[in-house]
Structure 1
Amino acid sequence: MRKIWSIYLSVLLVHFLAVPVSRAGAEEIDWVMIEARLVPQNCSKPLECVPKSSLILRNLAFMEQDETRELALFLNRIATVRGIDAKDNLNYSSPMMIQTLHQKPKADKPLLLKGHPGVYFDSATLDSISESKAFSEFVRVQLSAAGVRFLSKEEVEHIPGRPKMSIRFNRHRESEGCIIPFSVSMSISEETVLVRNPALKTTSTIWSGSVRENLANRNYRPESAIRELVEKFLADWNAAQA
């Protein structure tokens, strides 16, 4: 039964695991990663099966640059197929990435706002309700003053995670003797990947808060609730930027 092997060679730079170092009396040294993958054996078109390959080994070698070049030339010379693109769907780094992410502690809520690039805020629904039509302008003014950037629909498409802000208003209701207070909620959501499988993306809430009507205070209005909610958010935002 024929086995097809795929060898992945990469000189690691500062963005990955190490940087080239120099030794006295010797030329520059590289950390070289050598990765081997097994392509499904019954595949009639090996290139189409590369994304389904399974990781066999991943080793690091400490080599002089001349040795790195010789190894690369050797592998290129014996290869049956050369120049295969390292596209994302090949998932070369997934096993290592999963272990790295799994060990990371969960971040405190304010840290998720640190260095935040801004949000897209679609207020059309909020503006169409009489009680909340002034909310969006108030929120934009208060948050902009604190350094929150509001992105256009076009700009957010170029921001990793496509962060979006949502504000919802639920009216005061009474039904069969029951009083349901009005409420205002705000959230910021972003696209995220799963630790167990970084190839899967979903949407997660990185900040949320809500305020309900204070029935004990007859002067408590929807405007009071949005002010209180904004204060909650700005407390976390300012803590993150400190």
Structure 2
Amino acid sequence: MRFSTASLLALPLLAAAAQQETPLEQAKAQAQYWFDKISSYIPNPNRQHTPHAATAKAGGKSLHVLTLDNWEHTIRSSVKPTSTTPEEWWVFVTGGNKTCFGHCIKAETAFNETAALWSVNPAAPNLAYVDCDNQPVLCNSWGAGPPSLWIMEVSTPPAPVDIRVKSLNATDTTVKTFTDLQASKEWKEKPVYDGYFHPFDGPLAKYGVAVPLGYVFWVFATIPSWLFMIGISFLSRSVM
């Protein structure tokens, strides 16, 4: 490679310009570099899971897909201001290879088939999905893990939302699991969930910290440990 005389004369000027950067500008450049580096490892926490088209809207009732942006409005909007009885919601919490290690397929298929079966039944509960692979922040803000069924009785505010959580067997769950549970009302015998992560009435939700905590838990679970070590090293050097 040949260098012209002008190029050689420009080198000292470029070096001098680089040396003129202030420590603050250098710190900003380093911070931006590591932010871009870390961001490349962080997937989108708000992707939408789409169930089979035949069950997403079969007949008249829809199978709702809950996301971080729409879950509360979707559930709350089903309750009319004049309602005297609560709306019943069955929210199936599922996941893929990351959060369910590929073991939720059978239970998810059974839930899909149940949704198709109940789609024309006006007495059937409202049905919804939460996929923790695609909605990790939402699952973390609820403290929810797959496979499980969150049965909610939603009344007009300010009445509390009664929630009962039933863990599902990843290998034994079938359509009969859901139909028997609905017919027997056995789920009503379970204690009402009143933990800190209650999505409507828990202390974390009331003080508005459930979703920020969901992000924190998700970030810690997503970012490789070696990136945290580099970040700590960078911060310690900046302080010194």
Higher RCO (CA 8 Å, separation ≥ 6 residues): 2
Which one has the bigger strand percentage? 1
TM-score by length of 1: 0.24
Look at both structures and tell me which one has the larger radius of gyration over its CA atoms.
1
Provide the TM-score with structure 2 as the length reference.
Answer: 0.24
Structure with greater helix share of residues: 2
